[in-house]
Amino acid sequence: MIPNQWYIVLEPQEIKKNQLVGVTRFGERLVFWRKSDGSLVCFQDKCVHRGASLAIGEHLGNEIACPFHGFRYDETGRVTLIPANGKSAQIASYFHIKTYPVREYLGWVFLWWGEKEPTTEPFYFSDIDASFSWKSSHHLWPVHYSRAIENQLDLVHLPFVHKTTIGRGNRTLVNGPVQVIQENTISFWVYNEVDHGQTPKKASELPPPDPTRQHIQFIFPNMWQNYITEKMRILVAFVPVDETHTLIYLRTAQKFVKTPGIRQIVDSLSLFFSKIVLHQDERVVITQIPVKSALHMDEKLIPGDLPIITYRQMRDRLLQGS
């Protein structure tokens, strides 16, 4: 995983008050909980005493207790009580569990994954705000998150994998694509067309990037959107579970229908269609070997794979810390 980054890991509604929520992320067991004021806390899900899961323990307002021997932890991860030693016993500072910075932002839970302290706050697609309504679903794929991401950066597969949905029209010829890189964001515009024997156009022969036209964006480390129009998007968070599993959070967002009732119908229909498209992807992506991608691997890439090549180059630089 790319270290020292804010990753989307959950949706806020998955963590209810007075509950402990255990999940696996980045190959680690984590436990999430809310304090009495509703603010989020995240610990490594492993008691410092004997390694039991805290997620099956007890929620005590602003503390949680291990189910095995009753060790209590405050929000900082410090052990505040060892029942076997008595309430008045001194507790050494090494009785302290690993904690992770977490934030709630625009309907997502972000976690800072890294040894360093956060140097920024979480960020998201700049024009997504509370004016959008959305509906979401979760899908577990048996692949590394890099493979799942690359599938959504793949322009070449559309008329083959999605020939009955978004790839209709047999537009197999890939022009360009036109691509823009801004810090940790990749944006690209698709100009696929029917092949009549013409030579694919280079990016320089295509219209310049237009942020109001349909395009794809990816923000490192795990955020993606299909910008359909100013008022309609498809959003995905590729949540790393472990080296061979990714939890895909699929979200459709729109703000062109605001009437209650009708809005919910539109949101539901949009999500239903997007799930069909995602399942078409899954059928193929889970067969790719190896399950994890890398900058240098045994694949013969072509010009239409430019977004994938760019992703691998940028990911490799971030992994190397440059």
Retrieve residue 150's tokens.
Answer: 């690359």
Residue with tokens 């823009």: 180
**Are residue 241 and residue 174 in the same domain, yes or no?**
yes
Cα–Cα distance, 29 to 6 (Å, whole number): 18
The structure's pTM equals 0.94
Which of 113, 146, 169 corresponds to the end of one domain?
A: 113
- 309 and 210 in one domain? yes
Residue 9 inside a domain? The answer is no
List, for the chain, all residue ranges whose pLDDT scores fall below the cut of 70. 322
Whether residue 137 sits in one domain with residue 255: yes
Q: Which pair of structure tokens corresponds to residue 291?
A: 């399950």
| pLDDT tens digits, 37-72 | 999 999 999 999 999 999 999 999 999 999 999 999
Instruction: Give me the pLDDT at residue 218, please.
Output: 98
The reported pLDDT for the residue numbered 116 is 84
Q: Tell me: do 92 and 183 sit in the same domain.
A: no
Pairing label, strands 58-59, 63-65: antiparallel
Q: Which domain holds residue 20?
A: 15-113
Does residue 26 lie within any of the structural domains?
A: yes
Give the Cα-Cα-Cα angle 117, 118, 119 (nearest 5 degrees).
Answer: 110
Closest CA to 105 of 124, 84, 127, 118: 124
Pick the last residue of a domain from 54, 85, 113. 113
Backbone φ and ψ of 180, nearest 5°: -130, 135
Q: Domain check: are 175 and 241 in the same one?
A: yes
Chain centre to alpha carbon of residue 52: 28
263 belongs to a structural domain: yes
Strand partners, 43: 31, 99
For residue 189, the domain's CATH number is 3.90.380.10
pLDDT given at position 163: 96
Query: Considering the domain boundaries, does residue 49 fall inside one?
Result: yes
The two most distant CA atoms of the chain are separated, in Å, by 84
- Dist. CA 36–CA 59, nearest whole Å: 10
List Cα–Cα distances, 43 to 97, 99, 244, in angstroms. 7, 4, 23
CB neighbour class for 155 (10 Å; exposed up to 12, middle 13-18, buried from 19):
buried
Task: Quote the number of domains for the chain.
Answer: 2
Q: For residue 276, is it within any domain?
A: yes
pLDDT of amino acid 322: 53
- Strand order, beta sheet including 72-74: 58-59, 63-65, 72-74, 79-81
